[in-house]
């Protein structure tokens, strides 16, 4: 009984070796793959055959194998068959992204919607519809999904401990979604940080700050996420800016979110009446921030003051974050990206008070759907690290 099991696990390991090389360095000939993996050419040919059958790789035009030898057929990842689903539930939008195995985005959908104090099953139903439509339109076979949510998550149990801005507590969102593929759950700032790592500047050490209704952060250190003991690290939005400040939905007082979160910003700029049921002037989701940017460009005093205050508070919270985490650089994403020209100055001035040299503030190059992008890419990473489980889906 032992023999076939051992054979299977060795085959799985070797498939991962070959696909990993193709993913990192492809297109590669079978000969180059044999050299890179240390496997025989016969074994490589058999494995490449399996990956071709599974449509995970494709054969490109003949290439010359270095200077010597005859031309070989190059193997590269195939974007035509398998794909991954990145999903996000945030406070004022839902987002879906379909990515193929080559990490090309095939389709992105964002829907503005007010999820404040929402019923989780209703939100899940809306996202399910959006996701199924996107999968249908993209025409790929989806190997798995990761869902980004705005609160601390225990990824092993798929448990969202709490999302104060949604009014949710101890929820398993993947079960509510009920999609026909496995769905993992993670924190949106963590996934947005992975989006920045894989699709942004490519720096291995940075603190990604995700500005939304809530504010989260993902610390990438040595090319990997630092998650803390329970997976709750990076909750920048609840770093205390003023212990005597206004109460926060988390139960605390004077949290950064109350000064620099999207609602706080729009309220200070006169674009969002106070009160949770109020309708913002410029519209929900990206529309509200677009209106704020228009006013900032027009030199509107209230809008400029709002960004000055928010930037200063962000800088104060970042002093604490830099003192505790010592990140390589700080990348501002989410709604902080379009507001960067107005926020970064006051934030940098606050931050310059720090004793030693403060890290540079940078604007995220990834865009507002960094989290669903990072989510989909995480599925692709796992598919490439473990291709054997996807062979049967071909």
Residues in contact with a second copy by CB under 8 A are 152, 161-162, 164, 205, 217, 221, 226-244, 250-253, 316-317, 319-321, 323-328, 350, 353-356, 359
* Beta carbon of residue 364, minimum distance to a second copy (angstroms, whole number): 18
Measured from the CB of residue 240, what is the shortest distance to a second copy in angstroms? 5
Among 220, 227, 231, 211, residue whose Cα is nearest residue 328: 220
Nearer to a second copy, 234 or 285 (CB): 234
Nearest residue (CB) to a second copy, 47 versus 236: 236
Strand partners of residue 96: 87, 109
Nearer to a second copy, 146 or 233 (CB): 233
User: In angstroms, what is the minimal distance from the CB of 321 to a second copy?
Assistant: 6
Nearer to a second copy, 320 or 389 (CB): 320
Q: How far is the CB of 254 from a second copy (least distance, A)?
A: 9
Q: What is the CA radius of gyration of the chain?
A: 23
User: Toward a second copy, which CB reaches closer, 128 or 227?
Assistant: 227
Q: How far is the CB of 244 from a second copy (least distance, A)?
A: 8
State the minimum distance, in angstroms, from the CB of residue 24 to a second copy: 25
Report the residue number, 36 or 240, with the smaller CB distance to a second copy: 240
Residue 230, Ramachandran bin (φ over 0: left; ψ between -120 and 50: alpha; else beta): alpha
- Dihedrals φ, ψ of 162, to 5°? -175, 140
Nearest to 92 by CA among 294, 287, 293, 339: 287
In angstroms, give the least distance from the CB of 237 to a second copy: 8
Q: Which is nearer to a second copy, 16 or 250 (CB)?
A: 250
Give the pairing type, strands 361-363 and 93-100.
unpaired
Rounded to a whole number of angstroms, the minimum distance from the CB of residue 216 to a second copy is 10
Closer residue to a second copy, CB minimum distance, 38 or 222: 222
């Amino acid at each position: 009984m032992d023999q076939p099991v051992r054979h299977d696990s060795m085959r799985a390991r070797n498939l991962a070796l070959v696909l990993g090389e193709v993913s990192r360095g492809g297109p590669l000939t079978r000969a180059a793959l044999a050299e890179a993996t240390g496997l025989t050419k016969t074994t490589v040919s058999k494995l490449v055959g399996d990956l071709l059958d599974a449509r995970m790789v494709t054969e490109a035009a003949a290439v010359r194998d270095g200077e010597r030898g005859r031309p070989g057929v190059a193997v590269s990842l195939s974007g035509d068959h398998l794909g991954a689903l990145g999903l996000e539930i945030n406070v004022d939008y839902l987002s879906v992204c379909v990515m193929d195995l080559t990490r090309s985005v095939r389709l992105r959908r964002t829907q503005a919607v007010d999820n404040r104090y929402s019923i989780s099953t209703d939100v899940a139903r809306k996202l399910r519809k959006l996701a199924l439509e996107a999968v249908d339109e993209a025409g790929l076979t989806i190997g798995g999904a990761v869902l980004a949510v705005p609160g601390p998550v225990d990824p092993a149990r798929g448990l969202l401990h709490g999302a104060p801005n949604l009014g949710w507590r101890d929820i398993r969102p993947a079960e509510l979604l009920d999609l026909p593929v496995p769905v993992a759950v993670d924190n949106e700032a963590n996934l947005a940080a992975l989006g920045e790592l894989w699709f942004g500047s490519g720096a291995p050490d940075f603190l990604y700050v995700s500005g939304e209704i809530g504010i989260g952060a993902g610390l990438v250190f040595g090319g990997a996420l630092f998650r803390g003991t329970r997976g709750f690290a990076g909750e920048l939005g609840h770093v205390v800016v003023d212990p005597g400040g206004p109460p926060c939905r988390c139960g605390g007082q004077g949290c950064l979110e109350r000064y620099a979160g999207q609602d706080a910003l729009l309220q200070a700029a006169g674009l969002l009446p106070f009160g949770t049921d109020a309708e913002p002037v410029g519209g929900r989701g990206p529309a509200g921030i677009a209106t704020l940017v228009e006013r900032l460009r027009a030199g509107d005093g209230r809008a400029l003051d709002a960004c000055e205050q928010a930037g200063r508070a962000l800088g104060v919270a970042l002093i604490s974050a830099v003192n505790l985490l010592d990140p390589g650089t700080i990348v501002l994403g989410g709604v902080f990206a379009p507001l960067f020209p107005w926020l970064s100055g006051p934030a940098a001035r606050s931050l310059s008070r720090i004793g030693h040299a403060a890290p540079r503030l940078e604007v995220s190059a990834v865009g507002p759907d960094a989290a669903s992008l990072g989510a989909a890419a995480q599925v692709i990473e796992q598919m490439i690290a473990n291709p054997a489980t996807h062979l049967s889906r071909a």
